[in-house]
Amino acid sequence: MKNQPVVIVTGASRGMGAWIARWLSRAGADVIITARSYKDLQAHEKNIRADGGIAVSVSGDVSDPKTCFDVVETAMNRFGKIDALVNNAGILEPISKIAECDPEQFKQNILINLIGPFYMIREALSALRESKGRVINVSSGAAINPVASWSAYCAAKAGLTHLTRVLAAEEPSITAVSVRPGVVDTSMQALIREKGPKAMPPELSKYFINLKQQDKLEPPWVPARSIAWLAMKAPPELSGELIEYDDPRIVTPANDLFGDAH
């Protein structure tokens, strides 16, 4: 068995998930990356390998328990252990008031944002106990602060944050942390700017448009670096916490480990 950390990253074909996997690989971790987009995932695996890293991709949807089984089985068959799981896969839609929300879209949001991480944790739990590993769940400020027209997303992220706390209470050998990644310049923000004006309160929609226009969105590599550090180094005393990506307890050691070059 190798000494390098072995980390699973979901939603890893683009944006913040791709950067999490890239940071981990640069620090010497072997990564198992998964996402729905087979083409994008394969391209990202090749990029990591071209940089000298080791990556294995498994395409699929985390809302499907078979995908989660396949990801964990692949990790164990290839590397013999799992040191960390990063539940990053997520969607925002439906962007809609509760009264007008499509029930199937609401359900799908919960499946991907909350049930998927549950499936992944449950499949990986035995290996994580063995390694005294870490589970890093990517949450959101919407887990705490209600956002009009984001009912499914808010509910799912609130559930994920509390699921993290329950996992920390139940599994003392595992370090379980949820992270608020800030407002990140990803496709999710592009979707908000596209669909928000028709579905969100005008002042809220304008707020997100202004963030982009005023260059106030965080580039994906910044919170990804913090999350990658947590996947490799999160100390047990943080278990159960919802942590800001720019918390000095994370940023300083993350910069020391990975550097600032991106």
Catalytically annotated residues: 139, 153, 157
Cis-peptide, bond into residue 236, ω within 30° of zero: no
What is the tally of helices (H) and strands (E) in the chain? 10, 7
| Cβ(134)–Cβ(179) below 8 Å | no
What 3-state DSSP class applies to 234? coil
Place of tokens 């089984």: 69
Question: What DSSP character marks residue 144?
Answer: T
Cβ neighbour number for residue 53 with a 10 Å cutoff: 19
Residues in the chain: 262
- Distance of alpha carbon 60 from alpha carbon 69, whole angstroms: 11
Which residue type occupies 52?
G
Which residue type occupies 164?
T
What 3-state DSSP class applies to 125? helix
Q: Among residues 33, 40, 106, which one has the least CA distance to residue 75?
A: 33
- Distance of alpha carbon 105 from alpha carbon 93, whole angstroms: 7
Residue 80's alpha-carbon distances to 13, 30, 117, 131, 200, in angstroms, are: 24, 11, 21, 11, 47
| Cβ(140)–Cβ(134) below 8 Å | no
| Cβ(180)–Cβ(140) below 8 Å | yes
